[in-house]
């Protein structure tokens, strides 16, 4: 007989700000803002909002996520999903209609290069801070 799984549910009328850690499954129906560390699966339901840095085994997004996601196994963005942030996962499933803005590292070796927050530490080649290529007379340097 399979072990029963415990699911923590954050109700549709609930707004939580802070840190969340859990072992099995958590389903957000309302709003969460902060950080999430999961040894199981995070589910962001349709109509729900999650503004958080997330590290989990699996993540299912059917609502809105604003923050970086790192999943050791899989991230699934459904047709209603809206995601803004960087994503690192061994596997990624994106349904037709999903919205995603950010950087992605996917594959079995994706975690070897760090978590999603490491994207912010790297600037594209040729990047210069505004005004960095101008001289004291505000003219472009040659």
Question: For the chain, what are the domain ranges?
Answer: 7-117
The answer to whether 37 touches 53, Cβ cutoff 8 Å, is: no
pLDDT digits (tens, 9 = 90+) for 57-87: 999 999 999 999 999 999 999 999 999 999 9
Distance CA 44, CA 49 (A): 7
Of 91, 104, 59, nearest to 78 by C-alpha is 59
Is this model's pTM higher than 0.85 or not?
no
Could you tell me what percentage of the chain is helix, strand and coil, using 3-state DSSP and rounding each to the nearest 5?
5, 50, 45
Structure tokens at 19: 């840190």
Distance CA 61, CA 92 (A): 11
The answer to whether 122 touches 103, Cβ cutoff 8 Å, is: no
* 126: alpha, beta or left? (left if phi > 0; alpha if psi -120 to 50): left
pLDDT digits (tens, 9 = 90+) for 33-45: 999 999 999 999 9
Quote the pLDDT of residue 70.
97
Pairing of strands 41-44, 64-66: unpaired
């Amino acid at each position: 007989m399979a072990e029963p799984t415990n699911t923590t549910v954050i109700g549709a009328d609930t707004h939580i700000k802070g840190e969340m850690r859990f072992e099995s499954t958590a389903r957000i129906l309302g709003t969460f803002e902060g950080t999430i560390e999961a040894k199981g699966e995070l589910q962001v339901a349709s109509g729900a909002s999650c503004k958080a840095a997330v590290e989990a085994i699996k993540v299912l997004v059917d609502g809105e996520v604003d923050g970086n996601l790192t999943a050791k196994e899989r991230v699934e963005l459904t047709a209603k999903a809206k995601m803004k942030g960087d994503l690192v996962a061994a596997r990624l499933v994106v349904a037709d209609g999903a919205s995603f803005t950010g950087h992605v590292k996917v594959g079995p070796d994706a975690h070897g290069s760090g978590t999603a927050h490491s994207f912010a530490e790297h600037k594209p080649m040729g990047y210069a801070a505004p005004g960095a290529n101008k001289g004291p007379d505000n003219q472009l340097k040659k």
